[in-house]
Amino acid sequence: MRIITGKYKGRHFDIPRSFKARPTTDFAKENIFNVLTQYIDFDGATALDLFAGTGSITLELLSRGCSSVVSVELDRDHHRFICECVNKIEGGEENRQAQNSKAKVLRADVFRFIKSCKQPFDFIFADPPYALKELPQIPELIFGDSTLSTHHTPLLKPDGIFVFEHGKDYDFSAHPHFVEHRQYGSVNFSLFK
């Protein structure tokens, strides 16, 4: 896994073979971030990385100058790996302990986090497991439109952008906040505003 561009461009991180998560491919990540430059200036933006997996997107967002990145991952080993990667790029544990870290890496259930989060973000990225049965409801949860939740505060700021990575079997083009769909190999992204 490597950071594509920005402050930490070219940094590599070896993902343990035992991991179940598949990081977004470098090819797909580079292309979607190229598309995103027309929607958002990451410098100083607040970002949320849901189902963070290996932390690939979190690290990319930090490298591109986000002022804060909240990373949410339930798996204990993946959470620990993301923390280790963030520590490596931010200068070690002392820096994070001193509250200088721009990353907040949470070991939490994404759906519980969404229900309790009151902070809106400029940018949200979600890459749930493709087989997740709740996957189709995630855009509604982000925009506070879901009847599944008591959470009705949108997580996305009015000018923000939400990128949703999903399998080829999903089509979100009828969603009222849908902007466009991009496909890179087997990776599909739906963009919402």
Instruction: Please report the DSSP string for 103-157 in residue order.
Output: EEEEES-HHHHHHH----EEEEEE---TT-TTGGGHHHHHHT--TT-S--S-SEE
pLDDT at 43 over 50: yes
pLDDT at 71 over 60: yes
* Of 62, 28, 34, the residue nearest 46 (C-alpha): 62
Question: Which residue matches tokens 């470098």?
Answer: 26
Residues constituting the chain: 193
pLDDT at 40 over 90: yes
Question: Which residue matches tokens 């290996």?
Answer: 54
pLDDT at 146 over 70: no
Q: Which two tokens stand for residue 23?
A: 């990081």
For residue 97, the model assigns a pLDDT of: 47
Residue 19 — pLDDT band, cuts 50, 70, 90? confident
* Residues 117-151 as b or e (16 or more Cβ within 10 Å = b): beebbbbbbbbbeeeeeebebbbbbbbebbeeeeb
- pTM of the predicted model, to two decimals? 0.92
* Cα–Cα distance measured from residue 80 to residue 116, given in angstroms and rounded to the nearest whole number: 23
pLDDT at 5 over 50: yes
Would you say 73 and 82 are in contact if contact means Cβ atoms under 8 Å apart? yes
* Cα–Cα distance measured from residue 28 to residue 187, given in angstroms and rounded to the nearest whole number: 7
Would you say 171 and 162 are in contact if contact means Cβ atoms under 8 Å apart? no
